[in-house]
Amino acid sequence: MYKEYMASEEDFRCVVCLERTLKVLLDFGDQPFSNRFVPLNNTGDSTKSSFREATSHAHHRINPSPPQYRLRVGSCISCLTVQLIDPPPPNLVRVPNGGVTYTEPEQHLDDVADFICSFTPIGKSSQILGLSPIDGRLLQKLKNCGFSETVVLRTKEDLHIGEVGAGIETIQERVTRQAEELHERLGASRLVVARAIVEHSHDLQGFLSALKTLAGADGYLLLEVPDCERDLHLQEYSSLWEEHTIYFTKHTLGRCLELAGLETVRFKTYTYPYESISSVLVKSKSQTRPVSLMPLQAERELINGFKDSLQAVAQQCRKRLKSFRVGNNKIAVFGAGHLAVSFINLLQLTDCIDLVIDDNPLKQGLAMPGSLIPIVPSSALQTENVRLCLLSLSYDSEIKVSTKNQVFRSFAGEVRSIFRASPNSIFQ
Ligand SMILES: [Zn+2]
């Protein structure tokens, strides 16, 4: 079902090694943006649509042409980094009406803060700079350890970002463009903290070079990026997302830092139930040596497995879902985030799923991008004959929902996870 897109022989430019050796791994064709929910009723006040009206009219009363982009995943034959080919630019990715929230795992930050506190080259009176609100939590911990000069860039005042809905995708672009000006105004920072932003960058080497400018010749960078090794190994296609332009493993991240002229001081990967974070402390290399790009066989096999398994994974999931969907039994996905969007659209499961549950009031009266499956509140678990509920939440949100949401706790059907890493995965 995917093969019509898979024949490209064209080579593209790799954002890591800058060679024209990036090849298409998977081409999913035109895809909707995962934050572009579609009004179920585009003729009036959509928030007043009842659930029954919403479900019965979902496929007839919708905005006909929401924007799309072509989702192509590539891997570089020189440095092996998995990345999106021509990802949509930040102005298209931006959430159209604001309300963006990021849920990054943070339990490991105490360990990171303890390390920095004991790392003597960074003195307590050194300036420490965070790029985005995501860095605020770590900077607060460092402040509590006695670091007195912590600064988080303000989106409006420091980066001149005025657009509604601007998030990390815009911050990475402005930091790259304004690094010289920021350095002049703030001076060099002994430590620049950049969590959960490198993987959103479009001009990766330009962005890393901007961070080096902010840190000056003697400064350090603390970078945190998702370690996608497990996702590639488990063939977790739901993890693909237009906002994540790069999918590092430990090997490709190390290679990338080296290519950027950075020397690793500390490299630690923290593993969470559904995701892993690589946290690295690096500094500019005093001497740059040429980097050899000998590919590793294991890394190659990982990438080939990810490329070759899509169809089998999609079929396996479809078969499992069909076994639940007998008679009037319905299947719901819990959580209307980008993971659910990718799960449904990339595995082509639209016809297997009846509703998506999300209690966010901003998502009521809307349908999922692409699949147009209606989004409904969690009360539907009791009123809609749901036989199977598939969780698509981060691990922390999953715990919160399963312990605090009354409707969910009294749900009589089966509960599974869309994630292949979960012990309760629908794929098992
Ligand atoms: Zn490359």
CA–centroid distance, 19 to ligand 1, in Å, is 6
H/E element, 387: strand 386-391
Ligand 1 (ion): residues with CB under 5 Å are 14, 16-17, 76, 78-79
- The Å distance, Cα 250 to ligand 1 centre, comes to 15
- 284 — phi, psi (to 5°)? -65, 140
3-state SS record for 45-110:
CHHHCCHHHHHHHCCCCCCCCCCEEEEEEEEECCCCCEEECCCCCHHHHCCCCCCCCCCCCCCCHH
Whole-number Å distance between alpha carbons of 138 and 268: 16
Ligand 1 centroid to 290 CA: how many Å?
15
User: CB of 170 within 8 A of CB of 94?
Assistant: yes
Q: How far apart are CA 42 and CA 131, in angstroms?
A: 38
User: Strands 366-367, 38-39: parallel, antiparallel or unpaired by DSSP?
Assistant: antiparallel
Whole-model pTM over 0.75: yes
Residue bearing tokens 């370690």:
227
Cα(38) to centroid(ligand 1), Å: 37
Query: Could you tell me the strand order of the sheet in which 246-247 lies?
Result: 11-12, 22-32, 68-76, 82-84, 246-247
Q: Quote the ligand 1 centre to 30 CA distance (angstroms).
A: 25
Say how many Å lie between the CA of residue 170 and the centre of ligand 1: 24
**Measured in angstroms, how far is the CA atom of residue 308 from the centroid of ligand 1?**
21
Q: How many Å apart are CA 206 and CA 260, to the nearest integer?
A: 9
Between CA 249 and CA 232 the distance in angstroms is 9
**254 Cα–ligand 1 center, Å:** 13
Residue holding tokens 């988080």?
152
User: Measuring CA to CA, how many Å separate 171 from each of 130, 165, 201, 396?
Assistant: 12, 11, 9, 26
CA–CA separation, 175 and 278 (whole Å): 22
How many angstroms is it from 14 CA to the middle of ligand 1? Answer: 5
Ligand 1 centroid vs 390 CA: distance in angstroms? Answer: 36
Other CB atoms within a 10 A radius of the CB of residue 65 amount to 6
| CATH entry, 22-80+308-417, from 3.40.1350.10, 3.30.1330.30, 3.30.70.100, 3.40.50.720 | 3.40.50.720
Residue 34's closest CA among 225, 244, 303? Answer: 244
Query: Where in the sequence of the chain do the CATH 3.40.50.150 domains occur?
Result: 109-294
Separation of CA 343 and ligand 1 centre (Å):
27
Say how many Å lie between the CA of residue 249 and the centre of ligand 1: 13
CA pair distance 320, 133, nearest whole angstrom: 40
Tell me the Ramachandran region of residue 165: left when phi exceeds 0, alpha when psi lies from -120 to 50, beta otherwise. left
CA of 260 to the centre of ligand 1 (A): 12
If DSSP codes are grouped into helix, strand and coil, which group holds residue 342? helix
Please choose, from the candidates 342, 390, 345, 336, the residue with its C-alpha nearest in 3D space to the C-alpha of residue 367: 336
At 63 the pLDDT is 53
Distance between Cα 207 and ligand 1 center (Å): 16
User: 109-294 belongs to which CATH class?
Assistant: alpha beta
Residues of the chain predicted below pLDDT 50:
4-5, 7, 43-61
Q: Would you say 334 and 20 are in contact if contact means Cβ atoms under 8 Å apart?
A: no
Q: Give the distance (Å) from ligand 1 centre to CA of residue 292.
A: 12
Per-residue pLDDT at 129: 98
Rama region for 327: left / alpha / beta (φ>0; ψ in -120 to 50; rest): left
Distance 198 CA to ligand 1 centre (A): 16
What's the gap in Å between 331 CA and the centre of ligand 1? 41
CA of 43 to the centre of ligand 1 (A): 48
Q: Taking the C-alpha atoms of 173, 175, 176 and 182 in order, what is their torsion angle to the nearest 10 degrees?
A: 150
- Residue range(s) occupied by CATH 3.40.50.720 in the chain: 22-80+308-417
